[in-house]
Amino acid sequence: MSNEVATGVEVVPVLAQAQGLVITIQEQVSYANETRKAIKELKAKVVAAFGEPKKKAHETWKLLVAKESEYLKPLDEAYDLIGKKIGEFLSLEEKREREERRKLEEEAANAQAAELALIEKKTAALLEKAGGLNEQIMVLTTNIDDPSTTEGEAVVMRKQLAALVAQRDKAEASVVAQQAKAREAAVTPIIPAAAPAPKVAGLSTREKKTGIVCDKGALIGAVAAGTLPQDLLDINPSVLNKLVNAGLALPGVQVNIEKIVATRG
């Protein structure tokens, strides 16, 4: 079966024909190939039939796009221009608000500084009349609790009060320390120096110190902390004795002192 489209091109329902085609012998191969050639010719006719309308439609589309752009261009320009003006206005407003806020903050800071200066002046006058440190503390404590004292004045006075109390406590601690030191000096007995050992002509003595590990854990802990050389972990008597004779206090090490007698002459 075949039908004819509006273009005048005869279109054979070749898809159904191709689906029903069976190739089992050589002759059917030749037939199938001829069918493909016929399909190719039909395709060329279809492309030719729709080519001109497509070309005309494309030209029409371009004209429509150009006409559309002609109308849209001034509208887009107007839209963007108004947006730009709005943005400029908002930027100026933000700048004006920032400047106004800066001025208000500056005025508030100046007013606060002036108020603080007056409060400090008032507090200084109160302290000057009070005299001593304890009297100053008492005056500030009384004025802080006074109903006529503003919150701003109370804040400054509390700060000054804390400084005065700290100063008083420091002074009292110093006095207590000096008294304790004086008491300690008063009760410390004076131990007379022992009589020097008798000297024998031709003999001299010196002290030789030998280290004996009595708390190995403490010694290892000091080495681990990095305060002593790692060689001590081997408990090297030579290294140990060198450190002891150098006067170094070693944790976990007991020092035995042996007199070494040398004969001269």
Predicted pLDDT at 129: 67
What does the alpha-carbon distance between residue 133 and residue 165 come to, in Å, rounded to a whole number? 9
Predicted pLDDT at 64: 95
pLDDT tens column, 31-62: 888 888 888 888 888 888 889 899 999 999 99
Q: With cut-offs at 50, 70 and 90, classify the pLDDT of residue 66.
A: very high
In DSSP terms, 253 is beta-bridged to: 213
Task: Output phi, psi for 71, to 5 deg.
Answer: -80, -35
In DSSP terms, 4 is beta-bridged to: 10
β-pairing, 10-11 vs 203-213, is unpaired
pLDDT tens column, 249-265: 788 888 888 766 554 54
The kind and range of the H/E element at 4 are: strand 3-4
Lowest mean pLDDT among 12-21, 139-148, 187-196, 206-215: 187-196
pTM for the model stands at: 0.35
Predicted pLDDT at 75: 93
Q: What are the CA-CA distances from residue 37 to residues 12, 13, 42 (Å)?
A: 13, 15, 9
pLDDT tens column, 183-219: 665 555 555 555 565 565 555 556 777 778 788 788 7
Q: Do the beta carbons of residue 124 and residue 118 sit within 8 Å?
A: no
Lowest mean pLDDT among 55-59, 64-68, 74-78, 239-243: 239-243
